[in-house]
Amino acid sequence: MPELPEVQEVRRTLEPFVLNVKIADVKISRKSYIRSGATSLGGLIGHHVHHTARHGKKLFCIFDDGQVLLIHLGMSGRIDCCQPETPLAPHTHFSMLLATGMEFRMQDPRRFGGLWHYPDWAAAEKAEITGKMGVDALEVSASHFASWRTMHSRLKAHLLSQRTVAGLGNIYVDESLWLAQLHPLQVLSKIRLRHHAALAEAIHAVLDKSISMGGTTLRDYRNVAQQRGRFAQSLCVYGRGGLPCLHCGVKLTSKVIAGRTTVYCAQCQKRN
Ligand SMILES: [Zn+2]
């Protein structure tokens, strides 16, 4: 599933195709894929994407007149910008003809993703970010974990919830916890202050490295140029259950935690 680095890579590779390029036409093949707002999206025609923004795993296109189109890739969403005569991939739910003659297409076989339309940024922010999502993971610092001192939830489940830090999913939570030497079932209130700093540092290190490698492709994920991410070869724990910990050599534990297969080192990641 695309997490922050993959969405960031999609954003980077999408911008050259859409920034300041007028939308000539909009085609919706599956109406239910437009999750909210103006379901025809005809109001985008004649306008252009002025800039993009990202918060966690959500990618926003902000148009010249203020309209906002939120793109969520879900599990298997993929964007392609191609010549209109290119054969249509199965499960293409939405496309926009661009004034350059290229076509923006979004396909999503599993349909956990979708598009949300908002009249302006204030409406998008209120519906999508405020009160729902914590700080974007690239901006997180130890001070953002201050409220954890009174919270009794478990670390991995809380990170997956997006409420303190937005953008981490199963892969990058496991990688960050291993690097910070924190147990996925650690109770938040018992995490020591020095570990707050270690966790923030680990999140930055893992995400920065993945972004520099174009993200992680396990199966479906491709950027807009249809290239795979190369971070899978640098994963230290995800997918390595039963193999030796790269830090201490002990066999990594694989267990379902917070409903997700979780890999960690029982030797390096002790609970307080
Ligand atoms: Zn270890």
CA of 253 to the centre of ligand 1 (A): 10
Q: How far is the CA of 240 from the centre of ligand 1 (A)?
A: 12
Position 63 scores a pLDDT of 98
Each residue of 146-197: pLDDT tens digit?
A: 999 999 999 999 999 999 999 999 999 999 999 999 999 999 999 999 999 9
Q: Which residues constitute the domain of residue 248?
A: 135-264
The active-site residue out of 3, 9, 103, 128 is 3
Q: Are residues 12 and 122 in the same domain?
A: yes
Please say if 57 is a catalytic residue: yes
Is 2 annotated in the active site? Answer: yes
> Could you tell me if 122 and 146 lie in one domain?
no
Domain presence at residue 82: yes
Last residue in a domain, options 128, 158, 184: 128
Together in a domain, 112 and 84: yes
| Percent over 90 (pLDDT), the chain | 96
Q: Which of 2, 5, 78, 103 is catalytic?
A: 2
In this prediction, residues 245-253 reach a mean pLDDT of 98
Q: What's the 181 CA to ligand 1 centre distance in angstroms? A: 9
Q: Are residues 141 and 184 in the same domain?
A: yes
Q: Are residues 247 and 149 both part of a single domain? A: yes
Distance of CA 264 from the midpoint of ligand 1 (Å) = 8
From 95, 128, 161, the end of a domain falls on 128
- Clarify whether residues 181 and 108 are in a common domain: no
161 within a domain of the structure (yes/no): yes
Domain end point (choices 102, 128, 154): 128
pLDDT confidence of residue 125:
97
- Taken in order 213, 179, 266, 256, is the CA torsion positive or negative? negative
- Give the CATH number, domain containing residue 67: 3.20.190.10
* Local confidence band at 99 (pLDDT 50, 70, 90 cut-offs): very high
Annotated catalytic, 228?
no
Mean pLDDT (the chain, rounded): 96
What CATH number has the domain bearing residue 202? 1.10.8.50
Tell me: do 26 and 139 sit in the same domain: no
Active-site option among 11, 54, 57, 222? 57
Count of domains for the chain: 2
Same-domain status, 140 and 256: yes
Within a domain: 271: no
Same-domain status, 249 and 160: yes
Residue 270 covered by a domain: no
Distance 207 CA to ligand 1 centre (A): 21
35 and 122 part of one domain: yes
- The answer to whether residue 22 is domain-embedded is yes
From ligand 1's centre to the CA of 61, what distance in Å? 42
Give distance in angstroms: CA of 241 to centre of ligand 1: 12
Query: What is the whole-number distance in angstroms between the Cα of residue 89 and the centre of ligand 1?
Result: 44
272 assigned to some structural domain: no
Is residue 104 domain-resident?
A: yes
Whether residue 220 sits in one domain with residue 163: yes
Q: Which residues pair with 254 in a beta bridge?
A: 263
141 and 213 in a single domain? The answer is yes
Note if 255 is an active site residue: no
Q: Residue 246 pLDDT > 90, yes or no?
A: yes
- Of the residues 12, 228, 251, 260, only one is catalytic, namely 260
pLDDT above 90 (res 128): yes
Give the integer Cα–Cα distance in Å for 258 and 160.
8
